[in-house]
Amino acid sequence: MNDSQVTPKNTLRCVQCHEPLLRQGATMCCANAHTYPLADGIIPILLDQRGNCSHYAGQIEYFTNEFKNYGGYRLDPWMRKYVDAAMQHFGPPHAGATAVDIGAASGYITIELARAGWHVIALDLTPASMVSLVQSARQQGLLERITPVIASAMDLPIADASIDAIVGNAVIEHLPDDDKFTAELARVAKPGARGLLVAPIKLKYVWPWLWPVNYYHDRRIGHLRRYDRATFAALLARHGFSVDQAQYSGHFVKVAGTLGQMLLGTHRYDEWLERCDRRGAQRAFGSSNLTVTFHKLSRGAII
């Protein structure tokens, strides 16, 4: 490992005092002697006591279990949709452009952004997911452009105004305080930075016969709330961001087709189902997920 892998342009910060972090032996350390261990010899665990809550403990347990049988890097058609949406909104990276992928999980967005030339800080709360991400990044030859960190999305270990692009795919609904999370996004984003957030849509847009299964899924996976365009617009505006676009996915044909394929043990119709689903991108009703793209307003701009 070299320093550029851990501190690209020195953007990592201590979560207790916000001083820069440097590698010191087998740890990361700030000028005030706050010390953080490395998981797998490479991934700083940048959590402090504020990260300890029963909800987070449950989330780590759930997602550690999810990654037990992780079978290596894949980019399925439904994943490609989010990668395309991010790339389209962010545009090509300028030299030194840095993105942060919050709740990076298996890391497919991190890896595809790195392949496109971005430097990516990949952040997740669950060590097992970051270990998988590092393995995939190494296998794809892209680890040099990726800084993996284990941290809370509500206490980003990142310098102020250092980020050009933000990804938060299916993470905000898991967080105890989405206002604090959005304040953190505003702190780390440069003026004009672009972002993409994905979340489950409010149940009033979901077909009523799917409410029980959605309710059960929310409890099981740890979703604390759902969103629509208006809630995202208000939340983001409070922190100096403006929504650009909303897109909807997971319509009935996609959900029913995916379940049918699971029963038949096939992925033969994946591409077709995705194409069908994309046709409903502007239709909120009957969808499952909402993707919003946004940007940070320059200082002094009128919202």
Chain residues binding Zn ion by CB under 5 A are 14, 16-17, 19, 30, 32, 34
Closest CA to 82 of 251, 272, 231, 292: 292
Closest CA to 158 of 101, 239, 199: 101
CB of residue 28 to Zn ion, shortest distance in Å: 10
CB of residue 46 to Zn ion, shortest distance in Å: 10
* Nearer Cβ to Zn ion (4/32): 32
CB of residue 154 to Zn ion, shortest distance in Å: 18
Query: Residue 120 half-sphere exposure, CB side, CA atoms within 13 Å?
Result: 30
Polymer length in residues for the chain: 303
* Nearer Cβ to Zn ion (48/270): 48
CB of residue 100 to Zn ion, shortest distance in Å: 20
* Residue found by looking up tokens 């090509």 in the block: 92
d(CA 62, CA 126): 9
d(CA 273, CA 276): 5
CB of residue 16 to Zn ion, shortest distance in Å: 5
* Nearer Cβ to Zn ion (38/170): 38
CB of residue 14 to Zn ion, shortest distance in Å: 3
User: Quick count: other Cβ atoms within 10 Å of Cβ 271?
Assistant: 12
* Nearer Cβ to Zn ion (35/139): 35
d(CA 276, CA 252): 10
* Nearer Cβ to Zn ion (15/102): 15
Beta bridge partners of 168: 102, 197
Cβ contacts of 134 within 8 Å, gap of 6 or more: 40, 42, 43, 143, 146, 148
Cβ distance 250 to 289 under 8 Å? yes
Q: Token pair of 239, please? A: 């922190």
Query: What angle (nearest 5°) sits at the alpha carbon of residue 38, between those of residues 36 and 40?
Result: 165
* Nearer Cβ to Zn ion (18/225): 18
CB of residue 184 to Zn ion, shortest distance in Å: 17
Q: Shortest Cβ contact with Zn ion: which residue? A: 14
DSSP tag of 156:
-
DSSP string, 229-287: HHHHHHHHHHTTEEEEEEEEE--HHHHHHHHHHHHHT--TTHHHHHHHHHTTTT--TT-
Query: What angle (nearest 5°) sits at the alpha carbon of residue 113, between those of residues 198 and 63?
Result: 50
* Nearer Cβ to Zn ion (32/64): 32
* Nearer Cβ to Zn ion (16/245): 16
CB of residue 31 to Zn ion, shortest distance in Å: 7
